[in-house]
């Protein structure tokens, strides 16, 4: 069975949704690594009996040095797949190349719209009538730009604010992420060809 590690930095509701379905995913949870020492996600992992590792960056630590420590940790955990769930760091290209095609992220917008920070705020300010969430591969290049694996659409209502929209999208995130992971771990190609950049 392939093994995956979940990288987190905060609340961990997507981690919770993944752990709730862990017996059906066709892969083993190797561990959870947090870039924030007191992230609530760590407690979730511990309560589920999953190895929870605190790996906060040292003050002034360079990205490549942190990523080298992260790679060493993942090697210890014998990780095949890296699953980002609210991990608030950008990974260096060398890290991404080491796990090429085996790093997955969830982003709460319909990519390629609204990558990066505050996607719900961006969606509301733009006046879009639909938003949603995207599970995608993490690949070298711009943030949130890797190949799209699957998406869910959510309506944006008059009077929505960031919190109400985020809550509506989150319900879909919790359904979508485990479903995509199950397909990926089963070896099904949910990945289309990389679109040509014109």
* Interface residues toward ligand GRF, by CB under 6 A: 10-14, 85-86, 106-108, 170, 173
Query: What is the bridge-based pairing of β-strands 28-34 and 52-54?
Result: parallel
For residues 95 and 114, which CB has a smaller minimum distance to ligand GRF in the complex?
Answer: 114
Q: Min. distance of Cβ 12 from ligand GRF in angstroms? A: 5
The sign of the CA dihedral 138, 140, 144, 147 is: negative
Sole residue written with tokens 């319909």: 110
In the complex, which residue's CB is closest to ligand GRF? Answer: 86
CA–CA gap between residue 105 and residue 79 (Å, rounded): 16
For residues 158 and 163, which CB has a smaller minimum distance to ligand GRF in the complex?
Answer: 163
Q: Min. distance of Cβ 74 from ligand GRF in angstroms? A: 19
For residues 86 and 146, which CB has a smaller minimum distance to ligand GRF in the complex?
Answer: 86
For residues 74 and 154, which CB has a smaller minimum distance to ligand GRF in the complex?
Answer: 154
CA–CA gap between residue 89 and residue 64 (Å, rounded): 12
Q: Min. distance of Cβ 173 from ligand GRF in angstroms? A: 5
Positions marked active-site: 107
How distant, in Å, are the alpha carbons of 33, 101, 179, 197 from that of 26? Answer: 20, 18, 11, 34
Q: Min. distance of Cβ 107 from ligand GRF in angstroms? A: 6
CA–CA gap between residue 123 and residue 129 (Å, rounded): 9
Query: What is the bridge-based pairing of β-strands 81-84 and 148-155?
Result: unpaired
């Amino acid at each position: 069975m392939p093994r995956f590690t979940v990288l987190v930095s905060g609340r961990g509701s997507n981690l919770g949704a993944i752990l709730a379905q862990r017996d059906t995913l066709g892969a083993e949870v190797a561990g959870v690594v947090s870039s924030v020492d007191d992230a609530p996600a760590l407690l979730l992992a511990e309560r589920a009996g999953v190895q929870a590792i605190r790996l906060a960056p040292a003050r002034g630590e360079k990205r490549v040095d942190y990523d080298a420590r992260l790679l060493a940790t993942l090697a210890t955990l014998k990780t095949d797949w890296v699953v980002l769930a609210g991990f608030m760091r950008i990974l260096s290209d060398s890290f991404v190349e080491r796990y090429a095609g085996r790093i997955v992220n969830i982003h709460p917008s319909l990519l390629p719209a609204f990558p990066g920070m505050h996607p719900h705020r961006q969606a509301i300010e733009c006046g879009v009538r639909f938003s949603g969430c995207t599970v995608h591969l993490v690949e070298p290049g711009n943030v949130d730009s890797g190949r799209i694996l699957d998406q869910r659409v959510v309506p944006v209502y008059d009077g929505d604010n960031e919190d109400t929209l985020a809550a509506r999208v989150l319900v879909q995130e919790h359904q979508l992420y485990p479903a995509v992971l199950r397909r990926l771990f089963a070896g099904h190609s949910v990945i289309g060809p990389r679109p040509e950049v014109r």
